[in-house]
Chain A
Amino acid sequence: MMTSGSPAAGGSLRHAFGGVLSFFILVLIGVLAFSIRLFSVIKYESVIHEFDPYFNYRVTQFLTKKGIYDFWNWFDDRTWYPLGRVIGGTVYPGLTLTAGTMWWLANSLNIPLSVETVCVFTAPIFSAFASWAAYLLTKEVKGPGAGLTAAALLAMVPSYISRSVAGSYDNEAVAIFALVNTFYLYVKTLNTGSLFYATLNAISYFYMVCSWGGYTFIINLIPMHVLLCIVTGRYSSRLYIAYAPLVVLGTLLAALVPVVGFNAVMTSEHFASFLVFIILHVVALVHYIKGILSPRMFKVAVTLVLSVGIVLCFAAVAILIAVVAASPTKGWSGRSLSLLDPTYASKYIPIIASVSEHQPPTWPSYFMDINVLAFLVPAGIIACFLPLSDASSFAVLYIVTSVYFSGVMVRLMLVLAPAACIMSGIALSEAFGALTGSIKFQLLASSDPQDNAGDATPVSVLPENGKAKIDKAEETTKERGPSKKNKKKEKDVVEKASVSHRPENRRAEKKLRALPIESSVMGILLLVLLGAFYVIHCVWAAAEAYSAPSIVLTSRTHDGLHVFDDFREAYAWLSHNTEVDDKVASCYRRQQYLEQHTYCNCWYAMSSPEKAAWEIFNSLDVKYVFVIFGGLVGYPSDDINKFLWMVRIGGGVFPHIKEPDYLRDGNYRIDSMATPTMLNSLMYKLSYYRFVETDGKGFDRVRRTEIGKKNFKLTHFEEVFTTHHWMVRIYKLKTPRNRIRGKAKKSKSKATTSSGSTISPKTKKNPWQ
């Protein structure tokens, strides 16, 4: 491989070989990214997980059936009942359009894939693309070796797997690819100054805006970076070409997406980009004038302009501040404000604070989600500073901001994952390069006697350098053995060819930087070991932690795996026993799963006593109520546990629901110490109706107490179905009495029948009196 005639031909052959090798490595990385996400498909079946993705799936089905024009104009009266939802205007269309396009493409090539299959496998395909985009990005920052490492790390990082496993059909599946791609094109434009890449950058940003609300991260990070470059004196015309077209084209393209619309120019989240746009133009003008004037005249110009300009500046800034301060939230949306001030949402917007993904992460979740990369990131940051370029300063800024945001909201750990992989890839490849370079150098030096005779640097210099480097190397991990070695060796040999031109200087320098061969080999072995740990952890996380479709629960008992398929049992009952137009009330996100029924979020109804709740439900035409109850099996995310959010959100809208009414000593309790309001609320009654019959005492396994009110009857609802493990309970609203008794007196309630026949009027309390 090394014996070619002239050095030039040898170098190009090696480069060609390296290119082919990296192509194959990238193909393998793509296959890895795809297959590591398939655990749930293999273990269970190809279904869509969680509850939110079912809404996206429903939208995609509509798109494939009706076409794109009807999709844009769709008003869905079945979600967010009774208000309905303008799908065209409130949904980020990127994901559904992407899946719809893939389905259409496959079908036009006569490959009969169903929409569900396409939706389930969208995420793994796009994670392969994301790895390739990470390779390209890191290649721009540091080099191909770092690129391959970063791509391999991103293919496996658990944080990204958790949101893009096969079956997780949510926005982040395509959004992370769009994010990394946009950053790659921005850095490429910055490095080359080509307007072509600037155009591609704007188009990729458009795709990102279509896909995810997190696009505001891009439109704030890039101006921040431009500002950083200007402030650190790195202004160049390439910076102008990279940023200015992006702002104009990007704003226009963002305004094209109906969800964003005019928010692209009117909300504070975009103001940073406009401000930096103006600042950039000022700097560019100054730069230009400095170029054409003599230094003395330039000084004159500066003093003149400053004296006039400062006055104008103050006036403009004062006006801007007045306008922004006039709006109540200073022009920022609630979600962005909660990022800047993490306590904002819990004080003002309970519905945002209630989502579990919006809570700050715990420390162990960092290790769970990015594992060894957490140690590599600081090494990568240092490596970015030697030498510092525009691209590497961008990478540093990206990691710093994403670490801050991931600390605010656990959902944003996902944005941290690509940054951590890039940094770790850089760190790893630098460490690996140093180690293999010194091995090669030592091998060459020992085989070439001339070097040994001529050098003046004593051997004692080496161990000190070696120790410092070993310390750094032992904190880093390693990937892909032989291929990386080959690439680094090729680069080093090419370097050696140029070394021969200036023998003594370079040789001495390399000798100083070279480590003893034993330490290098040890270092490489330790890197391999650490990389193996990373791989094992990622595969474990993918298989055990993140592959469970939440609609089916499993647990290991002493006699094997026990499957709780209660949700699907309940949905099947609903689809068989109810009419299509019947309305079902349920809490939280269960509603998207079944599309035949209309669901309504009735927070306040569940907190009210039975009669009031009946009235509320009746006014909305609700026929069935759907309750998740985990007390029998110990399923912790049932509706009673989420009850506190219902009270808070309901209390935010209806002031007569007061949270202290439900609390005893500041806790929500359902045992004998619970408040009467709590014991009378519909939530309590529907969850614990007939619960005493299970074990005689009514012991709730989740709350770990016996329930307070044990034997009670329901007056306005009747139980129509309870699943095998009591996890889902369905109740039907009783119809009001036909005949109204003369006096308004409470009638005695009877025991209810267990399955629905409500045709005959029953003697029960008439709520209309």
Chain B
Amino acid sequence: MARSTGEDAQALIRSLRSAYAATPKNLKIIDLYVAFAVSTALIQVVYMALVGSFPFNSFLSGVLSCVGTAVLAVCLRIQLNKDNKEFKDLAPERAFADFVLCNLVLHLVIMNFLG
């Protein structure tokens, strides 16, 4: 039972890897960016747990900026993905421009809230 679970897990990981290797390069770059943002957020949370949350607005704006830009990058990835039928007539430049605009608004708010 455990062995079959272990074998299943390994087979699963292998198939995940092979499927993921097939994704185009630009999407992989976006995925890397998302991973970077999320890990930055996690580091900030750990830091807060160690040091205390005194300027709470700074903590909140830091974490939410990382989470926010990760979410926006995921939205960009959704819009650029060729497998997605809903967005097949959306120009990639338009998607990227929307992404930049939304990030601008997000970071304007962050800078205001950072204190």
Contact = CB atoms under 8 A, between A and B. Distances in A.
B interface: dominant SS: helix
Contact of B12 (A237, A253, A297): A297
A572 B87 CA distance: 67
Contacts of A195: 72, 75-76, 79, 95, 98-99, 101-102
A248 B16 contact: no
A115 B92 CA distance: 48
Interface string A281-313: 000100001011110010011011000000000
A248 B105 contact: no
A80 interface: no
B11 to A, nearest CB: 7
B12 A193 contact: no
A481 B22 CA distance: 59
A198 interface: yes
Interface stretch (A239-247, A448-456, A719-727): A239-247
Interface size class of B (residues with CB under 8 A): 35 or more
Contacts of A193: 79, 86-87
Given A236-B86, A240-B74, A304-B9, A255 B60 contact: yes
Contacts of B68: 245, 248-249, 252
B106 A248 contact: yes
B74 A255 contact: no
A490 B46 CA distance: 63
Nearest to A249: B106
Contact of B86 (A238, A244, A251): A238
A175 interface: no
Given A193-B87, A255-B113, A293-B15, A248 B79 contact: no
Contact of A252 (B15, B64, B99): B64
Interface in A225-277: 236-238, 240-241, 244-245, 248-249, 251-253, 255-256, 262, 265
Find the residue from A195, A202, A289, A303 having the highest chain B CB count within 10 A. A195
Contact of A244 (B9, B22, B75): B75
B57 A255 contact: yes
A636 to B, nearest CB: 48
B42 interface: no
Contacts of A237: 78, 84, 86-87
A291 B83 contact: yes
Find the residue from A238, A241, A265 having the highest chain B CB count within 10 A. A241
7 contacts: A193-B87, A195-B99, A199-B105, A236-B86, A237-B87, A241-B78, A255-B57
Interface of A: 193-196, 198-199, 202-203, 236-238, 240-241, 244-245, 248-249, 251-253, 255-256, 262, 265, 284, 289, 291-294, 297, 300-301, 303-304
The 3 A-B pairs of least Cβ separation, nearest first, read A195-B98, A292-B19, A248-B68
Interface of B: 5, 8-9, 11-12, 15-16, 19-20, 22-23, 56-57, 60-61, 64, 67-68, 71-72, 74-76, 78-79, 83-84, 86-87, 95, 98-99, 101-102, 105-106, 109-110, 112-113
